A and B are shown apart, each in its own frame.
Chain A
Amino acid sequence: MQLAKVIGTVVATQKSKRLDGLKLLVICPMKPDGSLSNNYLVAADAVGAGTGEVVLYASGSSARQTEATQDRPSDSTIIAIVDTVEVGGEVVYEKATAEAINS
């Protein structure tokens, strides 16, 4: 899995029938140090994540192993909303702090 930041939503009316009812989000992969990569991807949302949140996403066939995405054509699925990231004993991301700064 990788960390990512949700940066937007995707709306599509014409799509594969198997994608009906699935929420699609634009995410930007994030390194554990908190820096964002310069590529973006569309991921199915299995947890109800929102823009600005840091999430964990699974790739490949594992992305289909949720109730929301079972038997659906998704190769990236958001599986968790991240509260805290700690690297080398230091907290590099904390959801409560990030929300306080943004509000």
Chain B
Amino acid sequence: MKFGQVIGTVVSTHKTPGLDGVKFLIVQPLDENRQPNGEPYIAADSTRQAGPGELVFIVASREAALSLEDSFAPVDAAIVGIIDDVHAPLLSNGAGK
């Protein structure tokens, strides 16, 4: 699973049946210093509660669909958790602060 920040939303009314009611968010992957790390991509929000600016973790590839109610869905990235706090005192570069 990867660490990222929600930076936007994608709205679609015309989508495949397995995606009804699924919210899509744009996620910027972050490194351990919470700096952008790679290109943003679109993830389904299986928490249903993530919003712009929030730190989240994302599961990628086919396993992503397992987080949705209908797991037969063409989803290759899904937000599976909203991060409250990161505690990693052995990470010397500040991500644990």
- Given A32-B26, A60-B61, A88-B7, A65–B72 Cβ distance below 8 Å? yes
Which residues from chain A contact B11 at a C-beta distance below 8 Å?
A: 82-86
Q: Is the interface of A mostly helix, strand, loop or mixed?
A: mixed
Which residues from chain A contact B93 at a C-beta distance below 8 Å?
A: none
Question: Which chain A residue has the least Cβ–Cβ distance from B75?
Answer: A62
Q: Of residues 6 to 23 in B, which have CB atoms within 8 Å of A's CB atoms?
A: 7-19
- Most chain B CB neighbours (cut-off 10 Å) among A32, A58, A85: A58
Which residues from chain A contact B62 at a C-beta distance below 8 Å?
A: 60-62, 65
Interface size range of chain B in the complex: 20 to 34
Task: Give the interface of B toward A (CB within 8 A).
Answer: 7-19, 24, 26, 39-44, 52, 61-62, 64-65, 72-77
Task: Give the interface of A toward B (CB within 8 A).
Answer: 1-3, 31-32, 46-48, 56, 58-69, 77, 79-89, 92
Given A80-B12, A85-B9: 10 more A-B contacts, CB < 8 Å: A1-B75, A47-B16, A61-B61, A66-B16, A69-B74, A83-B13, A84-B11, A87-B8, A87-B26, A88-B8
